[in-house]
Structures are given as C-alpha cells and as structure tokens.
Amino acid sequence: MKITGISTVVVNAIHRNWIFVKVQTDQPGLHGWGEATLEWKTRAVTGAVEDLAQFVVGEDPRRIEHLFAKMTKFSFWPLGAIGLSAVSAIDQALWDIKAKDLGVPVWQLLGGRVRDHVRVYTHLRRARIGAQVGTGDISAFCDAVQETVEMGYNAVKLGFVPYCAYEAPLRDVLHVEKLAQAVRERVGPDVAIMTDFHGRPANADTAKAFIDVIAPIRPLFIEEPIQPGNAAAMAALARRVDCPLATGERLFTPREFAELAELGAVAHIQPDLSHCGGLTGGRRIAAIAEAGQMGIAPHNPMGPVAGSVALHFDVATPNFVIQEEAVGLVPWFDEIFSHPMRLVDGAWEVPEAPGYGIEIDEKAAACHPFEPEVIPALEAVLPDGTIAHW
C-alpha cells in the first residue's frame, strides 16, 4: 500500500476555520482523515501540510512511527504550533487508514478499550456562536449554565475571570467570588465545574487572588491560571493554592509535559491531539502524565475530526479524566459529517466502526469555504489601552 496524495478541506466555523487533512492511498476507497485546525493560522497550516507531503507520499501509510520520524526529524527546524499541527493531522489520518485496513476502530490499535464510555464537558450553551452570556449579570449567567446542564451534561467549563494583568482589582475578585458561588448553588454538587483563566493573570499573585475565591466551590480544575511554558512558576503556584490546576493546550512536545510531571506542577494536563503530534505524540505524553500521577483531559474546542480522534484516544488511555467537546459550536456541525460522537448521560459512547468512524461530505463542506475568522481576542484590551492576554 502507498500514499498517493494529501489534500486539505477547509470549513469556516466563524471563530476558526476547520482544517481537515485527507491522506489518500492506492487502495480504492481507502483514505484517512485528520484535523489541523489552528485558530487564525489557516493558510500557514495548509501550506505546512503541503510542505510535509513530500516526506510521506509514496510511503506505506501503515508505517506510522517511521513517517512520524520523517516529518519531525527531516524538518530540522523545530516545527512549532503551525508545523506540528500539520504533522498531527497527517499522523491522525495514518491511524485512520491503518485501522480501516484492519477493519477495527482506532482505539483497538491503541491497546484496546479501558472504559465503557467517555465523560465529556461542554462550554456555556455548548459554545454556540452568538449565544454566550456575559458574567456581569449573575442571574442571567446562572440561567445559561442551568440551560447547558439540562442539555444532558454533568460537567461544564466556564469563564469567570476578566481580562487582567499584574493586579486583581478587589471589585473584580469579589464579583468572581459571588459568581462562582451562585453557579455552584444553582447546579448543586453533582455537576463538575471547571473554569478557564486563559492565562490572563500576568503573575502568580494575581492568579492566586482569583483562585482563592473560586476554590470553595471545588472545581474539577482551574485551567491555565498563568501563561503556559514556565513549569516552575506553575508548580510554585500549585503549592500556594487549594485547588487542582491544569494546563497543556499550548504545549506541544513530550519534553514540555515531562517538565510539568517532574515538578508536580499540575493535577491534569490538556494536550491537544491536533497540535501535539497526533495520536503518536499524544500517546507519549499520556505515558509521561501517568508516570507523573497526572490525569489527562484533552483540549478540543474544534471540529468533528478532532473530536472523533480524541474519543478513540480517550477510550484507550488509562489516566484519562474528561474530554472537552464543541459539538454545538456552529449550526452546520452535523450537516456535512457523519461522526461517532453521541452524548448519553453526559458521556460519549464507545464507537465500533472501523477507523474513526467519520466521513466528510466534501461537496457539502464546500458550502462553507474559508473566510477570515471573527477574532474574539481583539477584545482583550485593558481600560488604559494595554493589550491583555485573551
């Protein structure tokens, strides 16, 4: 079997363009899908996919480790977010091909099923574009949280913390305290709550001020309380607060996750399988996390291929905790895809179809072509005009 070509399919999803990568083979009807979605970097990533194709076209797609090595080692320069997103999607597609060739779901190739369902969490109102509610009106925010839970979820991730930098204004801290307590009172103890700081605090003291008032509601974790990349600072913060921390969506290599494990910096890591080397990279990172006694909660606010890949990874990963999903992001999420993500009692069912069990209607996908994204990060400006972390 040989790889005959690699192509991309771009589908606009308002705040991002989904980048789907199709790896074709010389076997009639046998191809694989991956996803390389990277917000506001669409043209760079599709170009990187084209550049990497020369390393794999003509090769046997079943030699996954071999091809992963070719793409990462022959590139010479560190690939970074753009290059590794391209590698990740190609890698994902290779696993899809191999599993289809063998007639088994991808999770069988990853060591087999270790759980009977995959717990998931969503965002406020399933992150539906145009349906979000600000944190200023606590009652309206709690109504939206309750509405989200009633959609069938027992876990939700929310944004409590405003744009900030090197200080946590007392007015903001007190508002976050009231908001967090109101949400917990509304949903009760049986709904897991997570909150994403998005790395907005510019130092540990600012982060700690907000964490301390959220900790009493016992969140499952607080995500990116400070900017990623400084494992020592994260570890020092973890020792100062009474709340599990998580990070990892903007980390890419096993070495970066190994630093977190070595320092005991977080309770949970959140690699994104569309950025960290696909399933090949993700498996290495999961093993590091398990050795470091860290749970794994993969990042995924993207399209259906990324979600399907994460589902198979979660089924076979022993230290998996919970999966982020974005199935309700845009109205056309289900229009152009057949996919295995089926929500039952707050969890996805284990898929049984060969490969990832996903297919894309490319003619229907063409109805939502590339467009420049609406970029919410442009809002991240402090009152004095300083640019803040989104």
Q: What 3 state SS string does 295-308 have?
A: EECCCCCCCHHHHH
Is 299 in the active site? yes
Name the one residue in this structure whose structure tokens are 């008032």.
Answer: 213
Within 8 A by CB and 6+ apart from 299, the residues are 248, 249, 270, 271, 272, 324
Q: From the candidates 31, 123, 198, 339, which is the catalytic residue?
A: 198
Helix (H, G, I), strand (E, B) or coil at 73: helix
Between the alpha carbon of residue 153 and those of residues 115, 215, 232, 307, the distances in Å are: 19, 22, 35, 16
Q: How many CA atoms lie within 13 A of 39 on its CB side?
A: 14
Cα 161 to Cα 243: distance, rounded to the nearest angstrom: 15
The distance in angstroms from the start CA to the end CA of the chain is 45
Strands of the chain (E only): list them. Answer: 3-12, 17-25, 31-35, 117-123, 155-158, 192-196, 221-223, 245-247, 268-269, 295-296, 323-324, 337-338, 343-344, 347-349, 359-360
Q: Do the Cβ atoms of 20 and 34 come closer than 8 Å? A: yes
Is 198 in the active site? yes
Q: From the candidates 31, 123, 275, 299, which is the catalytic residue?
A: 299
Q: In what order do the strands lie in the sheet with 3-12?
A: 3-12, 17-25, 31-35
Cα 381 to Cα 164: distance, rounded to the nearest angstrom: 9
Q: Give me the active site residues, please.
A: 198, 299
